[in-house]
Each structure stands twice: as structure tokens, then as C-alpha cells.
A and B are shown apart, each in its own frame.
Chain A
Amino acid sequence: MNKARLNKLALQMQKGDEDAFCEIYQITKKGVFSFVYSVVGDYSVAEEIMQDTFIKVKQNINSFNGGNFSAWLIQIAKNMAFNHIKKAKRETPLEDADKKGGYTINESGGVAVEALQKVLGEEERQIVVLHAVGGYKHREIAEILNKPLGTVTWTYKNAMRKLKNYIEGEN
């Protein structure tokens, strides 16, 4: 992910350039979707939140004051996904909720996504996805998730070990 490029596109968006938004969408959609999916664990919910995230970006691009656009974008996605979880927890009795975030694990995706959902806890999933798919560095992830860097690196390492064991076991 070329962050300098994203920032330049954001500047163009602020001038009303729809094409710039389309490019931003193409560059970042996978990172945003995978992150939201790692939080909510359900395809259709993740899809809806992802679309809403980008709608919010369109509506609020004027409030982006420079800095790291990709971090700003993922922050919006994070807030929307977490709000959704909170709302879902209020509305869904706990006994009906799946242990990994209140949703039925969706089997979309292949072996890698399945491993992610089956083996990792919510926080581990988020960190792995942000790093492996979103291309964020551990320091950025620490900032996004508001966690100490040591916790992020530790969690990441642990998660990768779990994934490795699981996939090798499956094979």
C-alpha cells in the first residue's frame, strides 16, 4: 500500500475528484473488508459495514486534515465495526452468541480465512489481518487498536504460531 499515493488521492477527493475516490476504494477495499470481517465474523455484516465506511469517507472527507489517510480510514471502519458489535450484543442474548464476537462464523473464503476464524481470537484476527492484508506496521496497528506495541507484537507472534500449527495439522 503506497501511503503517499493515498494521501495525494485524498487531497484530490477534497477537491471533488470522484475518480480519486474510486482509486482509493480499489486500493483499500480489501484491507478494510478483511479488518471488518475479522471483527464481525460475518460476510454480509462485514460487507454492509465496509460500504458504510466508504460512504462515511465520502461524506466526511473534508474532516481529514492530512496525516496518515490509511490510518484515518481504518479508524472509521473500526469505530463502525465496534459500534455494530456493541449494538448486536445489546440486542442478542449472550447464550445465542458465538464465542468469537457474537456472530455465526461464516465459511466464506478458503483455508486461510477459515483458519483465521477457527483458531484465533478476535484481537489476534484483527492484528494479523491488519498486518498481513492491510499492510499496516505493528506500530501503526498499536496506534489503531490503542494497544501497547509490545502487546501487538506479542499477540501477532502468538497468532502466527497458532495458525502455523493449525494449518500444518490440517495438512
Chain B
Amino acid sequence: MKNKKYFKMLNDEFEQMTPEMSDKLKNTRLNVSAAKTLPEKHGIKKSPFVKIAAYACSFLLVATGVLAITGVFGGYVKYDTCYAVEISQTQAKSSDKTNITVIADEKGKVVKVSAEDRKGQILVSGSSSYSAENGAESVLSGIAQAALNAGYFSDGLMNVSVISSRGDKATKDAAENCQEYFEGEVENYVSVTQKDKSQFCQTYGLSADASLTEAFDAAAQKDGYLEGMLKKASEEGGDAFYDSYTVQLLNEYITLHEARSVACENVFATFEQAKTEAGLGLFDNLLENGKITEGVEVSVNTRQMLEKQLSDCMALGLDIKEDDDLYAAKAFYVLVSPEFVRFTAEVFIEAGAALADIVKGISDAIGVVSGEAQSYYQYVKTEWKNFYDDVKNQSVSGSEDFLQKMDTSFKNEFQTLCKAF
């Protein structure tokens, strides 16, 4: 049973069990005699840099603060705060963006909302929360909700960034309040100051004009980025690592391999069926250049299914041309899939530095040829030991048993992998 299904059952059952307000509670009066007034803004303290994101971010929403000062929204300089909401389509259509501008006065009240294009105008006009009486964070949340309703975002598939040029309180509070909203809706959030962003771009030699997401994506390709992030995470403690973009990358990475693993399993089942139908023996090849070998007869359904599944694999970057490719891929995923399952859990995130290296190891192992496999195994094994020690040092109750099993499994599987190569 999937967690989600169980959670729903649990929620439904508690919904029915939860009692209504008792008379005693109803009759209790609110004690407001000595009430203190809350500050107008009271965002929750969250890690300021990066929030773990779900894989495959299809859409991006970037709220950029105080761009007025930079001249992007010239003519509104008398106002203190300005946000740009940038909504991007999928990666394949990254150029397809819409921009919405929200301008707030020095008290955080929204004085103008405008959109550059038709899509943005639809989003802006679709919510009653764009009243001037509302704070900027409310308006930004409204835009996000409208975008969500309009199908711009799928659940859990959105990144949100808020950039403040000066780290001023109004922008910071808006960011934090938005964060609450976005976390609830899409569970992804990125918040950096303009200064941090500039420094980030400078460090990795990126254009200062790059959007935050573009900057992250570009930086991730550069040497030293991951190492820097891990070092920073290590210095700041586990919580920072939990929040780091590195974890996002790892999740994306592992998820991709999980998807490949499933696709591989599917295609293999059909492949075997096709071989049976065609009466092919163990050493007879079924596939040639990504298709069923000419002259081999299989049913129309099986042929269509196999072609579709091979195409699914291709879409995930798993290019299966010949039988041997499929056997190799199948062997690999049989060996490492159990580890992916464990790695995707939110367990032992504090030991993520070592985990990152292990995952990288698995990545590199895919391309390893037989001669290099053994030395590579040594490398991965060393990294595994680091991970093992990190986890062990946490002295988490019950971790010894888990680690022992995982360690044995990991070593066995990689030894077999090396032999397979």
C-alpha cells in the first residue's frame, strides 16, 4: 500500500473520530484582557537558502523582490517593494514564460499588479485577492493559487523563489509568508537574498541576469559546486543539508533511476514474452537497432507494446538497441534498485555528503567497462564506509541492524555488479 493511500485512510478515519466542540469549550470566553498584539508580519523562521524540491520541476514560479531599484520596473521607484512573478513552462519549453509584476508601497500594501502577456493577465484577473488592501504576500499567494487552479502547476512540481535586493523586513516577511503558502501547496520553496544570488553567480561565473533556477542548473554542472554545497552543509549542520539544492539534485537523480528501473522491468517482461511467441532460444537475438529483428514473428499486441516500452525507456535516457543492452540494464537495476528505495527515504539525511558520493558512484558505474570496474568498486566502497560511519555516529536507535543489512546488501550487490561487467 502506498503511503499516500494509507495517509488518506488515516485522515478519513480521524476525521470521523474527531469530536466537535464541547459545550464547556463553547462557553469558555476568549481571554483577551491582556492580549498583546502580534506583529503584522510573523513569518515562520525557516532555513533561508534552499528548500528540498521534488524531482522534475515542470514549472517554476519566481518572485523577485525590489527589482524597481534595478530599473527593471522603472517609474515606480517611489515604492519600496516590487515583486516579479515568473512562471515558466516545462524544461522543454523553458523559453515560454509569463511575467507578472506586483508593486507594493513602503507598508507592504499592494498598489499595482500588472502582467506582460495574455497568460499573466488571466492569472492576475482570476483572483479576488489582488485587492490593494492585501499585502504583497497575499497577492503572490493568490497568483500562485490561480496558476495552480489554471493547471500551470501540478502538485509538488513547482519551485518558488523570493529574492530580496536588500533583505529588508517587508520583503523578508512576504517571502516567509509566501513560503508557508507554497510549502502547503507545492512543497517546494527557494528563498535567497539578492546579495546571495549575486555572490552565487559570481562564484560560479554565471551571468548576473540569470534567473535563480537557471543559475542553480548551470552551477550544478560546474566543478566544485556540489562539493561546495556539501562543505557548507557540513559546516551548517544537517538542517542546512536537508534544505540544500544538492538534495534536490539527488532526489531527481535517484528518481530518474527508479523510473528507468521500472521501465526496464516492463520492457524485459514483454521482451521475454516476444521471444517465447517467436520461439527464440536463449542465444537468439530479438532486437536489432532498437526494433524487433526483421522476419521474427510476434503478435501485433506484443510488438506494439514492446515498441512503446522501448520508446518509454528511450525517453528516460535508457537507449536499448540490442538484446545485450537490455540484459545489461536489467542486471544493473536488479542489483541496485533496492538501494534506490532506501536512498529515497528521508532517512539519514545528515549523512548526505557521503550519500551524494555513493549516488555519484552509481552514476559513474553505469559507464564503467570491465577493466575499471574493480577500482571503481573500491572507490564506491570507501564512500560507502564514510556513509556507514556517519550514520553509525548518530547512534540512532535501531540503526545498527539496518546498517548491517544495508552494508551487506550493498557490498554483495556491487561485487556482483563488478563481476557482471
Contacts and interface: CB of A to CB of B under 8 A. Distances in A.
A14 B37 contact: yes
Contacts, number: 168
Contacts of B28: 55, 58-59
Contacts of B350: 149-150
B6 A112 contact: yes
A1 interface: yes
A154 interface: yes
Contacts of B137: 4
A17 to B, nearest CB: 8
Given A4-B177, A51-B19, A157 B10 contact: no
Contact of B399 (A7, A109, A154): A154
Nearest to A25: B21
Interface string B97-114: 000000000000000000
A151 B396 contact: yes
Contact of B346 (A2, A13, A157): A157
A60 B29 CA distance: 11
Q: How large is the interface on A (under 10, 10 to 19, 20 to 34, 35 or more residues)?
A: 35 or more
Nearest to B342: A157
B126 interface: no
B300 interface: no
Given A33-B19, A110-B13, A154-B396, A61 B346 contact: no
A138 B238 CA distance: 12
Nearest to A2: B184
Contact of A7 (B34, B38, B238): B38
Given A62-B36, A111-B9, A116-B10, A13 B30 contact: yes
Contact of B31 (A43, A60, A110): A60
Contacts of A154: 347-348, 396-399
Given A60-B31, A110-B9, A153-B349, A7 B42 contact: yes
B43 to A, nearest CB: 8
Nearest to A131: B7
Given A55-B28, A167-B1, A133 B11 contact: yes
A16 B18 CA distance: 26
Q: How large is the interface on B (under 10, 10 to 19, 20 to 34, 35 or more residues)?
A: 35 or more
Given A30-B14, A153-B349, A47 B38 contact: no
B6 A149 contact: no
A154 to B, nearest CB: 5
A167 B183 CA distance: 30
Interface in B243-301: none
A74 B324 CA distance: 57
A29 B160 CA distance: 30
A132 B242 contact: no
Contact of B24 (A29, A51, A158): A51
A79 interface: no
Interface in B88-142: 137, 141
Interface string A121-146: 00000000100110101110000000
A54 B30 CA distance: 11
Contacts of A129: 10
Contacts of A16: 30, 32, 35
A4 B144 CA distance: 15
Contact of B38 (A60, A65, A109): A65
A33 B17 contact: yes
B249 to A, nearest CB: 19
Contacts of B6: 112, 132, 163-164, 167
- Name the residue among B13, B14, B32, B141 with the largest chain A CB count within 10 angstroms: B14
A92 interface: no
Contacts of A1: 184
Closest 6 CB pairs of A and B: A66-B42, A112-B9, A62-B35, A4-B180, A112-B10, A14-B35
